[in-house]
Amino acid sequence: GMGHTLGNSLRRLMLTSLEAPAIIGVRIEGVAHEYMAIDSIVEDMTNIILNIKGAKLRKLPMEDTPNARNRGLLTKVLEITQEDIDNGKGQYEVRLGDIVEGGIFEVVNPNHHVFTVTVPMQKQVDLRVSFGRGYVPSERHVVNDKSTDEILIDAAFTPVKLVNYHVENTRVGQ
């Protein structure tokens, strides 16, 4: 009865209406399209995009922008040395925490694997972050300052991935 009606409404509200940040675009120096293999990186660009979709971000509270819905381009120059590769037994695992540092966003899962490097390299990685609700396919993102080699990706903005509820029978006064 009423328990299922209320529970289902709250579940749908939590899954579709909460706003959160997500990565909507990625650009790696020297990569022209999403089907390209990258020298010195084990994964191809398709697998890297799938790994980036697993990122969970949180906006840090800022005193100067109380209700701003910031969009941002997070830029990081990754410099992987031979020492890093030797310490990793022949490969270095780049994680989300290596790419996203500081700024107005915090990575909830900083140890999430993005790609594996086998040869020393230096590459610039740009991640475009935006706010939204629910799931938005890449074709529906509106980006005014997109570079030619930036790859837009689907985004699951919802911070809640699974909701369950349990309804119990209750008798008042007995």
Give per-residue pLDDT as tens, 5-43: 999 999 999 888 889 999 999 999 999 999 999 988 999
| pLDDT at residue 65 in the model | 54
CATH number of the domain to which 128 belongs: 2.170.120.12
77 falls within a domain: yes
The C-alpha atoms of residue 21 and residue 114 are separated, in whole angstroms, by: 18
Residue % of the chain over a pLDDT of 70:
94
Q: Which residues pair with 93 in a beta bridge?
A: 116
**Domain containing residue 113:** 2-156
Domain count, the chain: 1
64 falls within a domain: yes
For residues 29, 33, 37, 40, the Cα torsion angle rounded to the nearest 10 degrees is 10
pLDDT digits (tens, 9 = 90+) for 88-146: 899 999 999 999 887 788 899 999 999 999 999 999 999 999 999 988 999 999 888 88
The candidate with the shortest Cα–Cα distance to 55, out of 31, 15, 75, 26, is 26
Pairing of β 19-28 and β 105-107:
unpaired
166 falls within a domain: no
Greatest Cα-to-Cα distance within the chain, rounded to the nearest angstrom: 73
The answer to whether the predicted template modeling score (pTM) of the entire model surpasses 0.75 is yes
173 falls within a domain: no
164 falls within a domain: no
The candidate with the shortest Cα–Cα distance to 48, out of 114, 126, 131, is 114
Interior angle at CA 80, CA 122 and CA 83, nearest 5: 140
170 falls within a domain: no
Question: Which has the higher per-residue pLDDT, 72 or 85?
Answer: 85
